[in-house]
Structure 1
């Protein structure tokens, strides 16, 4: 039996693809897209901001983790009251960027996420600290790419690391060495 999602640290958009509208309550926006589908969402958001906002100051960045983080850092250097971060793309990439944003002081209510794909998860092994990335569901088991333990993908996401928690599934059955 799985827990109620609202009682976990897993955002709904990491389980089910979501396509929210643009957060038009802001005055300045940074839109970061991962992949072609994320780019489509970013273009839709930019058009929506252009139609619904008196201030039309936004920038769109498309890229990988490194370019997305650089765009975020650059945007925060010039951020003013009313700045918003919107990101679109696979949930695992969005979780990593959200972790970087939170570490830089961005509040959850300043972030909008559109997840285009939720099949792949980054799983942090609590035993060896390796992050294994694989197509896996919550409550499923996968082998850790670092220590080889069979990890249960737990209903927990680290806001600091942007990864799901993985712990040895059969730890209680192992003999003490």
Structure 2
């Protein structure tokens, strides 16, 4: 995995450091109170104004919570930082939303609490599914039933890993079968 778009925080639980140059911050905590508390303590020490929003994990998210996140992104000003803490599934989804709204990577700080559940999007039918499979493992697409390889690529736009046909790289001359 020398050349990959998978950030280290998507491979193992990891909390990125605060940006001491931030003018103010919003912490989005998806059942990640210890990480939010750690960031709160650090922001207090740096005298950086901040607020914390406690949000339900993705399986429980409501349209109201999506509106709350959208409102935070609309109110963003120069120097503001978005801190996202929670399971990889929640972090990737919210980070994708933030990037789509125009935030830069440098404006987003991430803290993952677990990385066991991966969102994987099928390259063939665009179905996104949640799996406990690891990178380089094969899963079955619930949309098109293809056997998909979980690739070491994270789509910033979709907030998910790429899954593509497991034997897509095998080629046989016309008329010959692939073993």
Tell me which interval the TM-score lies in, with the shorter structure as reference length. 0.7 to 0.9
CA distance in 2, matches of 1:60, 1:130: 30
Residue 68 of structure 1: CA displacement?
A: 5.1
- The alpha-carbon distance between structure 1 residues 105 and 58, as it changes in their structure 2 partners (threshold 3 A), is same
- Greater shift, 110-119 or 164-173, is seen at 164-173
Partner of 1:32: 28
CA distance in 2, matches of 1:103, 1:115: 20
Segments of structure 2 that go 5 or more residues without pairing to the other structure are none
Residue 78 of structure 1: CA displacement?
A: 2.1
For the aligned residue pairs, the C-alpha RMSD in angstroms reads: 2.0
Residue 61 of structure 1: CA displacement?
A: 3.1
Classify the secondary structure of the residue corresponding to 1:85.
strand
Q: Tell me whether 1:63 sits opposite 2:56 in the alignment.
A: yes
One of 86, 92, 95 as aligned partner of 1:95: 92
Residue 173 of structure 1: CA displacement?
A: 6.6
The ranges of structure 1 where at least 4 consecutive aligned residues each deviate by more than 3 angstroms after the TM superposition are 64-69, 171-175
Q: Which has the higher helix share?
A: 1
Instruction: State how 1:1-150 maps to structure 2 within 5 Å.
Output: 3-4=1-2, 7-35=3-31, 38-53=32-47, 55-65=48-58, 66=61, 69-150=66-147
Task: Normalising by structure 2, report the TM-score.
Answer: 0.85
- The one-character-per-residue Cα deviations of 1:11-59 (angstroms, maximum 9, x if unpaired) are 1111111023333321111111112xx1221122112211222x42333
| Count of matched residue positions in the alignment of Structure 1 and Structure 2 | 169
Partner of 1:154: 151
Contact 2:151 2:161 in 1 (8 A): yes
CA distance in 1, matches of 2:95, 2:65: 11
CA distance in 1, matches of 2:65, 2:100: 14
Structure whose CA Rg is larger: 2
Classify the secondary structure of the residue corresponding to 1:145.
coil
